[in-house]
Copies of this chain bind each other. A is one copy, B any other.
Amino acid sequence: MTAPLLDGLRVVEVSAFVAAPIGGMTLAQLGADVIRIDPIGGNIDYRRWPLAPGGRSLYWTGLNKHKRSVALDLRSDAGRDIARALITAPGEGGGILLTNLPASGWMGHEELARDREDLISLRLTGNYDGTPAVDYTVNCASGFPAATGFGGPPVNHVLPAWDVAAGLYLSVGLLAADRARRRTGTGREIALSLSDVMLATVANLGYVADVQVNGAVRQPAGNEVYGAFGRDFETSDGRRVMVVAISNRQWHALLRATALTETFEAAGRALGLDLDSEGGRYRARDMIAALLKPWFAGRSLADVGDALSREGVIWGPFQDFGQLVREDPRCSPRNPLFSLVEQPDVGQILMPGSPLRPPPAEALPPKPAPRLGEDTEAVLSEMLGLSSAEIARLRAQGVVAGEPAAEQQEQGRNSEGTAVPAPGASVAGAP
């Protein structure tokens, strides 16, 4: 095995919830040493649902794989001094802070840069002016819920898409700042806000300009694809598929698969519609759907899939999360993305590595999330040179914690029980 892509990069993450943890995990999965610092007992996200039967959060473990965990009393000066020393510790690839907590006071960039001039810090806020926002309250304002569904009330997405995108932007910003520092020796603070990620994306996709230059406001259209042919169909066994024909090649593949080439030629001629253009198919979408529907309704999902795949039609089955896990071969160890890995306190689960796949010799197998504070001793010894005796003293003073004691592990409840708020939760800022 050669060195992983991000060998030598060291990031200290002080975070909670989805976006910032995804930012750190994305880099850790490519080989960066990502040290997540939490308050003793865990941050506000540590017991977030869903939970494993033993009380461990599947949410937290999913978003913090491949990291090391250090637990500190961040309300005490002693705990903050240790956090500060870890963030600003020397080393070419270190001196990098990634956070979504209020980066003021001891966590402020200027303040930390007093200890390491070339510090890089990445700071995520809700809005660009520092006011708080979360995925749900950004999404509602994006315009997408109003354009989703079948025309009733607005429909929120369930995927926290803005959090996911923001986490990935944080990874991009961090690597860009690291690149600049390698070339010039200069560190810097980079700010990102969740609502700016939303706004930039809405504009990048043309929706803002469509309002500005056309006065057009996209309306909900169910599961239809805008500007081309694409929609869902029901199969004879009560399943549903999504079928898309954007290019002419894809369109003709669909006609071959359904043996409807001549039917559509005749229908296009009769109605004077050009079915050999994206726009023409979009305008004819109701007619196209009506002619295709019986073909799908007369076949099982398996038969539909065989016929479509044989001709290279772009299609996919609708699946719930259970069907995805139980039926989709891509969601199994057959896909090199996944391995069966023992996640402590959870069990053996299907764990993804990075979807970015370098040559096999450089790819890192998935590594479970740490237990809270699991790496405290190792990190303090390795990075700050503290002795076992010093660490034991800090632990006795309640400044640092190692792995949580057994009874703390049992505080959690399963999905039917009550999630206990973490004692350190007040340290965390807005999610």
Contacts and interface: CB of A to CB of B under 8 A. Distances in A.
Interface string A140-163: 111111111110111111111100
Contacts of A358: 177, 188-190
Given A155-B149, A172-B26, A211-B322, A419 B140 contact: no
Contact of A208 (B18, B242, B276, B350): B350
A406 interface: no
A280 B224 CA distance: 39
B278 A214 contact: no
A343 B213 CA distance: 11
7 contacts: A30-B176, A48-B227, A53-B213, A140-B232, A147-B321, A156-B232, A189-B358
A266 interface: no
Identical subunits present: 2
A179 B176 contact: no
A77 interface: no
Nearest to A340: B212
Contacts of A71: none
B128 A241 contact: no
B316 A7 contact: no
Interface stretch (A33-41, A198-206, A378-386): A198-206
B418 A193 contact: no
7 shortest interchain CB distances as A-B pairs:
A49-B227, A137-B316, A168-B168, A143-B321, A58-B206, A175-B175, A196-B355
Given A203-B350, A203-B351, A316 B356 contact: no
A314 B137 contact: yes
Given A143-B320, A321-B202, A356-B172, A277 B209 contact: no
Measured as residues with beta carbon below 8 angstroms from the partner, the interface class of chain A is 35 or more
Given A59-B206, A322-B211, A356 B188 contact: no
A254 B9 CA distance: 41
B352 A199 contact: yes
A137 B62 contact: no
A154 B7 CA distance: 42
A22 interface: yes
A355 B200 contact: yes
A312 to B, nearest CB: 7
Interface stretch (A81-89, A243-251, A393-401): A243-251
A25, A180, A204, A420 — most chain B CB neighbours (10 Å) = A204
A73 interface: no
Contact of A232 (B154, B178, B346, B362): B154
A44 interface: yes
A331 B207 CA distance: 12
Interface in A389-431: 413-415, 417-421, 425-426, 428, 430-431
A362 B193 CA distance: 18
Contacts of A184: 3
A79 interface: no
A199 B338 contact: yes
A50 B140 contact: no
A293 interface: no
A262 to B, nearest CB: 22
Contacts of A140: 232, 240-242, 316-319
A171 interface: yes
